[in-house]
Structure 1
Amino acid sequence: MRFSHMVTAAVAASTLIIATAPAGAHAIWFAQRAKQTALIYGVGADDLDMVKRLPLVKSVTGYDSDGAPVNTSLRAAGAIPVVDSDEPIAVVAAVMDYGYWSKTPDGEWHNKGRDEVPNATLAEHNFKYAVYLTQMPTKQIPLYEGHTLQVVPVGTAIPQKMGEPMKVRVYYKGQPIAGATVMQDYVNDPDEVNPAKTAADGTATIKVRNQGNNVLMAIYVAKSDDKKADHIEHSASLSFVLPHVPE
């Protein structure tokens, strides 16, 4: 699949200096900013600097309403990266490898593996994925290449009113996975007390929280065969917007 990253050399050469940020607490998702689709990095209402993290984005892909690929890229526009495409897109998706993170006994996080931080109390490798539906689907959302974890609506009927139930299925490596966490409103309730857990068939039912922007977040922690990390944390967002009453 074709993709490109339109970033400046200065951005591409930048390094991350965020040793105090817990890596697994953040995620990526798409949202509208000034009528443009932006890729957001953060947690809850905290939109952090995604532009300097663009080198960590491994793919950006767009698809039209028939599911055909559309040439799609990210462009740094001030403080946020926005989506550019050759033609209208119905779905846009992104994959980020956030790298290795280790937590030392003093509570600080470092962008290194356990091999470099042998006294770490926790070491993990973080991957983050995002899928955004710019319009309501007319067919089942497929699994996208490179998305080790993905949350998809079951069927094509996404509820159109806040409070209605919505059934989703979480896939890990292309197969439904049990025990994944599904948060129903990652932006407005990032500390959800009792998030849903997927059943044996990978499904969970949540309630649509907003008559506007909705960001669902699936999280799954997998075993690591790499001695640099104790485990691998995957977080995958699914975002869409419900229409409001016409003005």
Structure 2
Amino acid sequence: MKQRHLNALLLALAGSLLAPAAAQAHEIWLARIHGQPTVMYGHEESDTDPYDPITINEARAYKNGKPEEVTIVRHYTQRFATLKAEAPGLLTFTKEGGIWSKTKDGKWHNLAKDQLPNPADAERSMHARGFSAAYLNKREPVTKLGYELEIVPETNPAKLLPGEKLPVQVLYRGQPLADAKVTSNAFDHEAQKATTDAQGRATLTVARSGLNVISVNHAVAYPDPKKADKDITLFTLTFEVAGGGHDH
């Protein structure tokens, strides 16, 4: 396995945000690059695209279930961000996608519909944000984070092995979200998907050794239809299991 791939697996934190320019999903995750937990963005777990670091607008760190200090370090020239925390067991952050509108000429613009020169040209418009959480060792207790959309695992998933079952609950604004499609591996379009029941619960199978990224998204009407059509929220839960080069 390439060293670059191994580095991307070391501290993995993934999330999904809309990539309006390409009209397809990007992922965000945390990799240790030159010893620093670095937010990566792109389609492959071993590669990154540049992004505006101001979009990483919130982060949290926990150690033994207790909040720890974490700092977002934004590198504007290189267009990426790193997170600085002291040996966390659980690390999370938020990426704000903003409002994007697609006009009839097929182009995407980082503008609300009513900010376009001609709002009638808007073919579709949406707001997107992503929340991500990673369990970085087997000892960290499960913590409910209170994000707008959240996957809460029944147990710390880093304890598990490939093929073992992981029960989860999906919450939206603190309430169970029924009929949500939860994907066992966000990087694999053919990965197992489970549908949540009335209590927001589903059971997934750990997809593989090393990096695992479980994802879910939820779309509702945007509160102000003059600005956007849809409000899209995404959450990913990331962990590593035996065989992935985890050093915790």
Measured against aligned partners, the alpha-carbon deviations of 1:27-52 in whole angstroms (never above 9, x if no partner) come to 423244455422122234452114xx
SS of the residue 1:48 aligns to: coil
Structure-1 residue corresponding to 2:133: 131
Structure 2 residue matching 1:68: 3-state secondary structure: strand
Q: 2:212 aligns with which of 211, 214, 230?
A: 214
- Whether 1:37 aligns to 2:37 is yes
Instruction: Give matches, 1:20-35, under 5 Å.
Output: 20-22=21-23, 25-33=25-33
| TM-score between the two structures when normalised by the length of structure 2 | 0.78
Partner residue in 1 for 2:241: 242
TM-score by length of 1: 0.78
Q: Secondary structure at the match of 1:26?
A: strand
Matched residue, 1:119? 121
Deviation of 1:139 (Å): 2.8
Partner of 1:198: 196
Aligned-pair CA distance for 1:167: 1.4
In the alignment, is the contact (CA less than 8 A) between 1:218 and 1:236 conserved in 2? yes
SS of equivalent residue, structure 1 residue 55: helix
Report how many residues are paired: 221
Name 1:230's counterpart in structure 2.
Answer: 229
* Aligned residue in 1 for 2:161: 161
**RMSD over aligned Cα atoms:** 2.6
* Preserved contact between residue 41 and residue 49 of structure 2 (Cα < 8 Å): yes
Query: Are residues 31 and 171 of structure 1, via their aligned partners in 2, closer, same or farther at CA, if it must alter by over 3 Å?
Result: farther
**Is the contact between residue 105 and residue 121 of structure 1 (CA under 8 Å) also seen in structure 2?**
yes
Evaluate the alpha carbon distance shift between residue 204 and residue 99 of structure 1 in structure 2; reply closer, same or farther with a 3 A threshold: same
**Structure 1 position 157, deviation (Å):** 6.0
- Deviation, structure 1 residue 79: 6.6
Q: Hey, what's the Cα distance between the residues in 2 that align with 1:184 and 1:114?
A: 34
> How many percent of aligned residue pairs carry the same amino acid?
27
Counterpart-to-counterpart distance in 2, 1:33 and 1:151? 27
Structure 2 equivalent of residue 88 of structure 1: 87
1:48 maps to amino acid = D
Aligned to 2:48: 47
Q: CA deviation at 1:245?
A: 8.4
SS of alignment partner, residue 66 of structure 2:
coil
Letter in structure 1 aligned against 2:21: T
Amino acid at match of 1:59: E
CA shift in 2, pair 1:32/1:208, >3 Å: farther
> Structure 1 residues 19 and 128, CA, compared in 2 at 3 Å: closer, same or farther?
closer
Cα distance, 1:149 vs. partner?
1.0
| Letter paired with 1:160 | L
Partner of 1:177: 177
- Cα displacement (A) at 1:100: 0.5
The alpha-carbon distance between structure 1 residues 126 and 111, as it changes in their structure 2 partners (threshold 3 A), is same
Per the TM alignment, residue 55 of structure 1 is displaced from its structure 2 partner at its CA by 0.8
Deviation at 1:78, TM superposition (A): 5.5
Name the aligned partner's letter for residue 122 of structure 2.
A
Q: CA deviation at 1:123?
A: 0.8
In the alignment, is the contact (CA less than 8 A) between 2:185 and 2:215 conserved in 1? yes
Q: Write the distance in 1 (CA, Å) between the matches of 2:191 and 2:157.
A: 27
Task: Report how far residue 182 of structure 1 moved.
Answer: 1.3
Q: In the alignment, is the contact (CA less than 8 A) between 2:90 and 2:140 conserved in 1?
A: no
Contact 2:212 2:239 in 1 (8 A): yes
Secondary structure of the equivalent of 2:113? coil
Tell me if the contact between 1:158 and 1:166 (Cα under 8 Å) persists in the aligned partners.
no
Per the alignment, do residues 112 and 236 of structure 1 end up closer, same or farther by CA in structure 2, a change over 3 Å counting? same
